[in-house]
Amino acid sequence: MLSGTRARGVQPLRQRRVRPRIWILDFYGSAVGKKAVMAVTGIVLLGFVLVHMLGNLHLYQGAEKMNWYGEYLREIGEPVLPRTGLLWIVRSLLIVSFALHIHAAATLTLMNRQSRQTKYQGGRDYLAANYAARTMRWSGVIVGLFVLYHLMDLTWGMGGADFTKGHPYENVVASLSRAPVAGVYIVANLLLGMHIYHGAWSLFQSLGWSHPRFNHWRRWFAMAFAAVIVIGNVSFPIAVLTGIVE
């Protein structure tokens, strides 16, 4: 009977082959995964912002120290790595972290909008959360645009001021001596401080490091970290405009 069925052209059903799914992509596709990626990449970016600000404090030591520091960054890793080798490794890590941070934030926002069926009723907690979310979005966009201008201004020499490759001290002074540009730097760093505060506060919760017993320490850490970055970065344009740095 079975052979006769096959003879008439009826073939037994075959199971479809299911391609194995990559777990890390499944994880990133969830809201929890996107928040975790934002937290981890946020830690990388926060570390860079802190190191970058501390390095720029050489500005107060004069041209010789600042220019030496700029050259030192290009020589780190020699002779194991070629000149600027380690610098490009760090730059690549930052580019990937920045891209993942933006993508996770954008897609998480879309997921939240699609899943929101009804508007929440007003309340103090909701208003605070909504304010934080809104400032994170637009401050993140503005800070991203500022980073692009910052690279054009002091790395690529396309900011409109006198630029000499290998002389970061002179380039910083020439750029920030222009009051409008100094004003942009100050405003952008104030927005960066807001972004850092909300990000540093929320990354603990995104990684599951949240507990009522030490939540107040999270807030103090976020405030202190943001304050250190803002005070340090804002001091540079002010120092140039007031003649403290010449």
**Rounded Cα–Cα distance for residues 53 and 59 (Å):** 10
Q: What is the mean pLDDT of residues 221-231?
A: 94
DSSP state of 209: -
- How far, in Å, CA of 55 to CA of 220, rounded? 24
pLDDT given for residue 111 in this prediction: 85
3-state per-residue secondary structure call for 155-184: CCCCCCCCCCCCCHHHHHHHHHCCHHHHHH
Boundaries of every domain in the chain = 27-241
Residues 115-161: tens digit of each pLDDT: 765 454 444 333 334 444 566 777 788 888 999 999 999 989 898 88
Q: Give yes or no for residue 219 having a pLDDT over 90.
A: no
pLDDT for 174 = 94
- The predicted structure's pLDDT at residue 120: 46
**How does pLDDT run across 58-67, given as a tens digit for each residue?**
999 999 999 9
**Using alpha carbons only, how large is the chain's radius of gyration in Å?**
25
Overall fold of domain 27-241? 3 helical TM bundles of succinate and fumarate reductases (1.20.1300)
